[in-house]
Amino acid sequence: MITGKLSDEQRAAVVQSGHVVLTACPGSGKTRVLIHKLAFELDRIQALSRKRVAAVTFTVRASDEIYRRLSAMGIDDRKAWSGTLHAFCLEWIIRPYSCYVPALRDGFSIADESFCSDLLDELKDKHKLRAIESVNTRLRRDGSFVEQYPAHRDVLAEYHHTLRARKLIDFDLLLYYAYRLLEDHPTISTVLSNIFTLICVDEYQDTQDLLYAIICRIVKVGKGKTSLFLVGDTDQAIYASLGGLAKSLAEVQEEIGGQNLTPLTLSGNYRSCQRIIDFYRHFQTQPIDIRALGQSAANKGRITFDSQINEKDLVTEIARLINMSLDSGIPESEICVLVPQWWLITRITRQLRAQMPAVAFDASGLSPMSRNRDNIWYKLSRLFLTTPSPKIYSARNRWASELISDFISEVGGHFDERFDNPRQLLRLINSISSTETEGIDYLQDCFAQFTATLGLDYVDFPGLSENYTIFFDNVSKRLTDPVFNVPSDVESFKSFYREMTGVVINTCVGVKGEEFETVIAYGLLNGYVPHWNEIFNGDPQDASRKLLYVVCSRAKTNLHLISETGRTTRAGTPLYPNAELDALKFDFDQNEL
């Protein structure tokens, strides 16, 4: 039975009919419930039916985890779709109906994150803006800029002009065009409501207004055909400055046309010991009494806070804390080093690997390709850089299916029909080899063999050509950037895609939804947590509390917090410990040497 091993709270959420808003505290089994909800609905769909279920996730990593867990449960996931909102809009709305949008009618490509970031940096410099200033690219439902500053709007005008000239759309334009299609052509919403019996939205508190507009439009038109299942925790809403919005029950109900919406709560914590929970509840805003119910519940755990160590001694201290956990029997994969910003990861990863050669580290986000995830050539590179194995067969099959769809979208009838199914495409990719030893040369050789077999010259297709140039330009920039200092050989490229089981090194937001026996978080300084953007333009105290809540609630039994000394702003002004953390009255454990 699908719900057999769930708690009463979890089971009630899974079997609840109609529309649901599920508020889930950390460690309460939110992802477990979402996956079982999908499985429960899949079990009710008849084999020959065209009905589907969907899970809209905040990250690609979360989407992959859903597929992995469904597979582990023995669930046939062919009628399940999981991906980010942008992926949902692209696959189900933009590509099938782009002919109805004048700006997309003559073809388009998705501008990846790296290209957009670099373009904005160039334009900020041109318009004499400071590099630290954040230009908001989001759009309202009426197509106007959310950005209010006139100088920033000038940057945006030129930014969009460049995108149009190169037939590119960024993520914000993708959402806006998807919304306009649903509004201007109601039949599209009707078609989608007839396809999806359930749409789950994970981390709904961190999604933009346009997400509510798009998903709720489908649900509203369906008039009960499509159930909405929102899962989140407003205390973990850490993307307010990036447009994250936790709508109230009444607001969501209004979005779906007044249909009934059932509020449910998961309050039991199966992750952390009670002491860890009691600590991070200092940063809680919601009146949920969180009780430890898991195996670690009665464990005293260990909570330390170090605001005296100098940045120069940080690597040695983190290595000591890692070894302390390893010596107590904690596996490498149950240890996580967290930082508030990506740039802090690169140097320390390199130094930890040098200081601890016997320990494996998972810092896959430092891959030279990591900022190009929506680029078609990134998707192809992922298949060439992973070794076929039973463990990742379903993932590679899914990647191949997505790649076929992307290529057909770019080249239309020019795609070779011999390879228009995942199995045949994977056979082709697995048959291609190269003797090149440098990563870029290897990929270019493999790509050339691949397109030659398909009878395609990517130069003949503007979208493919544009993305090819962007992909390799970005990889080259990462390889030559002294801040990242990543290796360029092909074996190192491949290592970024291997299934890692070592000590995780990631950003605070990169591990949302994950859990570890030991969490070591450093860089907890005013200006990093909260970020300068929040200090100047937002609610710094609220942003700080929520990010600390996320960081601390990842830990099961051991939590080590560090606000190191010795860091300064670019102007040389010293950075000080996070104010909320520094002022906290708590009986921390001694940081023994």
Domain membership flag for residue 359: yes
Residue 236 within a domain: yes
Domain boundary among 495, 510, 538: 495
Q: Which residues pair with residue 52 across a beta bridge?
A: 196
Please check whether residue 464 is in contact with residue 110, taking contact to mean a CB–CB distance below 8 angstroms: no
The CA R_g of the chain, rounded to the nearest whole Å, is 24
Tokens of 522: 């450093």
CA–CA separation, 411 and 429 (whole Å): 19
Q: CATH no. for residue 78? A: 3.40.50.300
Q: Give 124's contacts (C-beta < 8 A, 6+ positions apart).
A: 130, 131, 133, 135, 155
Same domain (yes/no): 158, 222: no
357 and 381 in one domain? Answer: no
Whether residues 357 and 381 share a domain: the answer is: no
Look at residue 593 and tell me if it is in a domain.
no
Inside any domain, residue 589: no
Q: Is residue 103 part of a domain?
A: no
25/124 Cα distance (integer angstroms): 40
Q: How far apart are CA 270 and CA 258, in angstroms?
A: 35
Same domain, 259 and 286: no
- 357 and 386: one domain? no
Domain end call among 250, 266, 282: 266
410 and 482 part of one domain = yes
**Entry pTM:** 0.84
For residues 64 and 192, state if they share a domain. yes
Question: Average pLDDT of the chain?
Answer: 88
Q: Which residue has the tokens 């803006």?
A: 129
Asked if 474 and 333 sit in the same domain, the reply is: no
For 481-521, the pLDDT digits (tens) are 776 667 888 988 887 766 567 899 988 877 777 889 999 99
Query: 402, 379 in Cβ contact below 8 A?
Result: yes
Range of the domain at 141: 112-165
Last-in-domain residue among 436, 471, 495: 495
- Strand order of the β-sheet with 361-362 is 302-306, 555-562, 516-521, 335-339, 503-507, 361-362
Q: Which helix (H) or strand (E) holds 52?
A: strand 52-57
H/E stretch holding 327 reads helix 314-327
Q: Find all residues with CB under 8 Å of 494, minimum gap 6, and list them.
A: 385, 386, 387
Same domain, 399 and 482: yes
State the Cα–Cα distance between residues 137 and 498, nearest whole angstrom. Answer: 34
- CA proximity to 235, closest of 62, 36, 23, 403: 23
C-beta separation of 78 from 167 below 8 A: no
Angle between helix axes 462-480 and 376-384 (nearest 10 degrees) is 60
Reported as a single tens digit per residue, the pLDDT across 259-317 is 999 999 888 888 999 999 999 999 987 777 888 888 888 888 899 999 999 999 999 99
450 assigned to some structural domain: yes
Residue 588 lies in a domain: no
Kindly report whether the peptide bond that precedes residue 530 is cis, defined as omega within 30 degrees of 0: yes
Residue 434 · residue 445 · CB < 8 Å: yes
Count of domains in the chain? 4
Regions of the chain short of the pLDDT cut 50: none
Give residue 339's identity as a one-letter amino acid code: V
- Looking at the structure, tell me whether residues 260 and 191 fall in a common domain: yes
Q: Are residues 52 and 188 part of one domain?
A: yes
pLDDT of residue 340: 86
427-480 pLDDT tens trace: 999 999 999 999 999 999 999 999 999 999 999 998 899 889 988 988 888 888
Provide the pLDDT for residue 268: 85
Q: What pLDDT does 231 receive? A: 93
Does 105 reside within a domain? Answer: no
In Å, how far are 84, 203, 226 from 55, measured between CA atoms? 8, 11, 13
425 and 393 share a domain?
A: yes
pLDDT score for 365: 59
CA–CA dist 293, 441 (Å, integer): 53
Measured from the Cβ of residue 571, the count of other Cβ atoms closer than 10 Å reads 5
